[in-house]
Chain A
C-alpha cells in the first residue's frame, strides 16, 4: 500500500473530445482492461503519476524494514525471529521489484532514492509510528500488512502491466505475513495478563494509523479522478477503508480484545461497520514530516546510504577492473 496522496500529474480528466488520437487509443485500451506495457505509448502524466506511486510504494517497503528491525534482536523465540527475518527479507524484495518496475518507466532507482533522501518523495505514513512492544510486530503483520493487502489486491487489476504483476506476487507474500502476524498476536491475546496488555496496547495505538493508510476521505481526496480513469487507482480510499474495517473487527473480537474505537458499531442498514474518523490533523502532520518517527527514519536511511558509499564504490571499481582485465586478456 503504501502509496498515499499520490498527486496525479494533471488536474481534471480530459474528455474524449479533448484527447488526441493517441490518447484516445490509450484510454480505449485501459477501458478494455488491456495492460499497458513499458514499450507502449502512454501519456506523460500517466507515466509521471505511476513513477510517483510505485516509487512511494517501493520506499515504504524499504523504510518499513526499520520498525520491524527494531524488534528482530529482541524476538522472544527462535521461530519468531526466523519468521520476522523472513518477513523483512520479503519486504526488501518487494522494494526491489517495485524499483525495477519503476525503472521500466525510465526512472532509475538511484534517482528515486535521491528524491526520498532529499525529502522530495514520501513513504507510507504508517512507518512513522514506533514499534514499542513485541505485540506491535504481530499487529504490524496483521493490521498494516492486512491494510496493504486490501489495497494491493485491488491494484492487481491496475492498468500498468509490470505494476500489476508485481502486486500479484507481493500479495501472496503479504497474505502470509498477515496470517503470521495474527498468529503472533493471538498467542499474546490468549497468553498471560501482561501479554494481553501488550496486545491491547498495540491494537489501541496502531488502529487509527492503520486506517489512515488508505489516505484521506474521498471528499478530500483531490487527485483521484484521473488516476481512477487511468486505472492506476482501482477503488476509492473510503471503499478500501470500509473493506478493511469490516474484515478486521471480527478478528479483534475473536482475540477478546477491546475495540480500539468506541464509535465502532454494526450498521444493519448499510451492512457495514460504522467507525470514527481518524484525527486527520494528525495524518497531515505525519505526512508533513511531524510524525513520531519521521526524522529518525529518514536519518537512518540516509546514514545507511552514506555509510555504504564506500562499499558501492568499491564493488563498482572492482567490476570495472575485472572488465578491463577481461578485455586485456582477449
Chain B
C-alpha cells in the first residue's frame, strides 16, 4: 500500500521534533546538575536524542524531496512548522520536573519504538531498532529516578507530586490520534498511538505507585503541538537560541 508522502513526512517530523526539542531542553542542564553523575547522564540522554533527531529529520527531508537536510528542518523552520508534543517544549523547571517529563516521554517511546521496528517502511524500522535500545535504558534510568525521588524525603516527594500535576495534562496529547496516524496505521508504518494507551497507563501507573505519587484524576489534555495548531509560548524562545547562528549567518557551513 502506498502512503501519502505528506502524511509520512508529518509523521517523521513528529518523531524528529520530539527528540529535537527534548534533546535541546535536556542539554540546557549542562554543568548544572545536582551531582556529577547526573551531569553525565543528562548529556548522554541529550546526545542520544540529538542522534535520533538526525535520523528522523534526515528521513523526513528525504521523503519531502525538496533537497533539504535534517539541519534545514531543525534550524530553518518556524514555530508553526514544529510537530513535537507540547510536553517536551515546556521549560525544565527543577531537576524533578525534568526527570518526570523525561519519564513520561521515555515510557511512551519504550512502547512505541519496538513496534516501529516492524514498520513496513524499512528506514523507520532501522531508526527504531537503534532508538529503541536507547529508549530502553532511558526509561530504566528515568523510572528509577522518579521512584527514588517520589519515595525519598518529604520535600522530594512534594516536588515530584507537583511536577506530575504540572505535566500530566500534557500526557494525553501523545495518544490523540488524527488522520496522519490513521494513514500510518493503514500503511503498516506505525501503530495508531491511541492503541498504546493501555500499555502506557499500566507501565506509568506501576512506576508512579512505586514512587508513592498519585496521578491526577482530571483527564484533561492540552493539544496543539503534534498538529502544529497551537504551541506554547515557550517554543519560540527555544528557537531563538537554537536557530540563532543559522539565521544570523544564512548559507554558511559549520
Contact = CB atoms under 8 A, between A and B. Distances in A.
Contacts of A62: 31, 36, 39
Interface of A: 62-63, 65-66, 68-69, 72-82, 85-86, 88-89, 92-93, 95-96, 99, 109, 134, 184, 187-188, 191-192, 194-195, 300-301, 303-305, 307-319, 321
Of B38, B152, B156, B159, most A-chain CB atoms within 10 Å = B152
A202 to B, nearest CB: 14
Residues of B in contact with A, size category: 35 or more
A317 B154 CA distance: 10
Q: Considering residues A99, A184, A195, A317, which has the most beta carbons from chain B within 10 angstroms of its beta carbon?
A: A317
B28 A73 contact: yes
Given A78-B71, A192-B249, A317-B156, 17 more contacts: A63-B31, A68-B30, A74-B244, A78-B57, A78-B70, A89-B43, A92-B39, A92-B43, A95-B36, A96-B37, A134-B245, A195-B249, A308-B95, A311-B156, A315-B149, A315-B152, A318-B147
B191 interface: no
A80 B33 CA distance: 22
A133 B124 CA distance: 37
A85 B27 CA distance: 8
Contact of B24 (A73, A80, A184, A300): A73
Contacts of B241: 73-74
A127 to B, nearest CB: 10
A82 B47 contact: yes
A178 B53 CA distance: 25
15 contacts: A65-B39, A73-B241, A78-B20, A78-B53, A78-B71, A86-B43, A96-B40, A134-B245, A191-B252, A191-B254, A194-B252, A304-B33, A308-B35, A314-B148, A314-B149
B167 interface: no
Nearest to A95: B36
Contact of A317 (B153, B159, B252): B153
Interface in B123-164: 145, 147-149, 151-153, 155-157, 159
Nearest to B250: A192
B238 to A, nearest CB: 8
A194 B95 CA distance: 38
B96 A77 contact: no
Given A134-B245, A318-B152, A92 B252 contact: no
Contact of A194 (B32, B38, B249): B249
B75 A92 contact: no
Nearest to A82: B50
B46 interface: yes
Contacts of B75: 76-77
Contact of A310 (B20, B40, B153): B153
Given A85-B43, A187-B253, A304-B31, A310 B50 contact: no
B176 interface: no
Nearest to B249: A194
B54 A318 contact: no
Interface in B211-254: 241-242, 244-246, 249, 251-254
A307 B94 CA distance: 8
B30 to A, nearest CB: 3
Contacts of B156: 310-311, 313-315, 317
A79 B227 CA distance: 27
A313 B152 contact: yes
B36 A99 contact: yes
Contacts of B44: 89
A88 B47 CA distance: 10
B34 interface: yes
A39 B71 CA distance: 53
A82 B157 CA distance: 34
B32 A92 contact: no
Contact of B155 (A191, A304, A310): A310
Nearest to A69: B30
Contacts of B252: 76, 191-192, 194-195
Nearest to B241: A73
A121 to B, nearest CB: 16
Given A92-B40, A319-B148, A307 B54 contact: no
A311 B35 contact: yes
B74 interface: yes
B51 interface: yes
A314 B155 contact: yes
Interface string B187-228: 000000000000000000000000000000000000000000
A62 B20 CA distance: 26
